[in-house]
Amino acid sequence: MTVIGVSLKMYFGHARTLEWCREIRRLAQDHDAVRSGEARLFVLPTFPSLAGAVEILSPIVAVGAQDLATDDAGAFTGEVSGVELSEIGCSIAEIGHAERRRLFGETPEVVSEKVAAAFRAGLTPLVCVGEEEHGSPEEALAVCLAQLDSALSLAVERGHSGALMVAYEPVWAIGRPAPAPAEHVALVCQGLRDRLGQLADRGGSPVVYGGSAGPGLLTEIDEHVDGLFLGRFAHDPSAVRSILDEVHRLRAS
């Protein structure tokens, strides 16, 4: 199964988000790749639109949050807990995106606390990893493995088992006209898959690529990655259709 995810970040207002979700539901329920189980879709809207997105998309498309609090309850003004996210029907929590680290000062310790909080709430953590500077794929993989190990450290310490998702997003490729080179993505993603395969309690954990991902990339890296994590490219539902078309062609060949 190929995993295709979309983060809407903060580009849409509430009404536009729900309109987009309705379009994606119509697309997903009619598309051969989704109907056959070749592709699994998930969407990450902003917090105010989560309940509406769940109502529109469930159970055809999974819905998750772009962040969550480190704690389950308490005096944390402006925060949203994993417990509440799970209660309204979310199944995924994105953690450690480069923008959260850069703009909001999220440290590796905070990322690790949030991963543990997601597991505690029954959510699948979507852990974002990626190097800041464009170097060799071997150097990138070393950075990403260290980030992954750090992100999982508290969950391991506290006995939280289960699958997660890992999104490889090289920081230098985010928002660029083109993604990272296919051979670079393939080596890093395969290395992350290998590491997850070595962890006995993380079976079935997919690795997806984000960072200016678009049509054609999946065809080049399909053997080494479990899917794509889309950003602005997916704002047009027809672009999501083109990616699902690509998945169907790959699985039918």
pLDDT digits (tens, 9 = 90+) for 19-35: 999 999 999 999 999 99
Three-state SS at 2? strand
User: Which regions in the chain score pLDDT beneath 70?
Assistant: none
Q: What pLDDT was estimated at residue 252?
A: 87
Active site residue 224: no
Active site residue 248: no
* Active-site choice (97, 160, 184, 224): 97
C-alpha Rg value of the chain to the nearest Å:
17
Nearest to 48 by CA among 83, 5, 74, 13: 13
* Active-site choice (84, 106, 131, 169): 169
Q: What pLDDT was estimated at residue 177?
A: 85
pTM to 2 decimal places: 0.96
Q: What pLDDT was estimated at residue 253?
A: 80
Contact (CB, 8 A) for 206 and 166: yes
Q: What pLDDT was estimated at residue 147?
A: 98
Four-residue CA torsion sign, 227, 233, 235, 239: negative
Q: What pLDDT was estimated at residue 178?
A: 85
- Classify burial at 105, counting beta carbons within 10 Å of its beta carbon; exposed 0-12, middle 13-18, buried 19 or more: exposed
CATH homologous superfamily, domain 2-252: Aldolase class I (3.20.20.70)
Contact (CB, 8 A) for 165 and 126: yes
CA angle 220, 151, 202 (to 5 degrees): 65
Q: What pLDDT was estimated at residue 175?
A: 84
Residues contacting 57, CB < 8 A, separation 6+? 21, 24, 25, 28, 43, 63
* Residues linked to residue 42 through DSSP beta bridges, in sequence order: 5, 62
Domain ranges of the chain: 2-252
